[in-house]
Amino acid sequence: MLTRPLGTQGLTVSALGLGCMGMSDFYGHRDDAESTATLHHAVDRGVTFFDTADMYGPHLNEILVGKALAGVRNRVVIATKFGILRDPDDPSVRGVCGRPDYVRTACDASLKRLGVEVIDLYYQHRVDPAVPIEDTVGAMADLVRAGKVRFLGLSEVSAATLRRACAVHPISAVQSEYSLWTRDPEEGLLQACRELGVGFVPYSPLGRGFLAGQIKRFEDFEPGDYRRNSPRFQGENFQKNLDLVARLEDMAAARGCTASQLALAWVLGQGGDVVPIPGTKRRDRLDENLGALEQVLCPGELQELNGLFPPGAAAGTRYPEAAMHMVNR
């Protein structure tokens, strides 16, 4: 397995990680047995980087990941996140919190659920507009000094916020949605990461599974699937985005790979400091995704894909309006 560095503090992970959110939440039914088998299979295939968060489930995903990886703890890097609050009576209702006292409480809770003594990479999931980033990152830095966390990360932050955070403590990774149809990080965030020596972790590098070409009708989403409420999968947007995926499928067929492998190869081709974390809860999809590592694109192929998917090509915002307000821009 190829490896890539995240930041300049010594964190190194497999070139492709595994996003674990869908194993417990948001994308239809759960199958803990298959998810656990997928986690074990990932380790066997050389994946070392696993991404979860306290709000996935909520809480259930950290427990699942912790139990599945307990026997190989010294071989893996576990990343988790804090900062998004979900109403226990209505999980669709969410808020954010970055208060220093909450940072400490959330970390202790995640350590317990994961069953680990230290979290390898601890992200603030969303920036709390009511709390200066310096205060939140200061509390996160205290966790590093206390030996509870090894490296720090931020998720969905602006370049300006990242610069302020790095002035308090080194940030090893920034996580943000990034794919052929979500090019927002190219508007300054990727440049800031490179100037500051921060690794970049794209989540949803397959456009929430849509770029894999498996979703052809709105009815293909299970009842309760988050994507049923996402603007990119609504009405005319759905068909416009299907037309984009058809172009990707044609190029992938000509190359002899799958659409998902080509989409991931494009993300991997954006730089050696980029580590995508495609999510799956199935072993066969994991193997397909790992096949992207064999698809090394030349500059001309990268440029062709840039032309097929220019910034802004996807129809619809990537989150519903309420969730877009939680993104630090």
Residues involved in catalysis: 56
Q: Which two tokens stand for residue 173?
A: 């990774």
Concatenating the DSSP letter of every residue in 179-198 gives BTTB-GGGTTHHHHHHHHT-
Longest Cα–Cα distance in the chain = 54
* Residues 6+ positions from 142 with CB-CB distance below 8 Å: 100, 104
Edge-to-edge order in the sheet of strand 199-203: 18-19, 49-51, 77-82, 119-124, 149-155, 173-177, 199-203
State the Cα angle at 162 between 289 and 17, rounded to 5°.
Answer: 15
Q: How far are the Cα atoms of 146, 189, 190, 261 from residue 10, in angstroms, in the given order?
A: 18, 22, 20, 29
308 and 302 Cβ atoms separated by less than 8 Å: no
Neighbours of 253 (CB within 10 A): 12
Q: Which two tokens stand for residue 23?
A: 């194993």
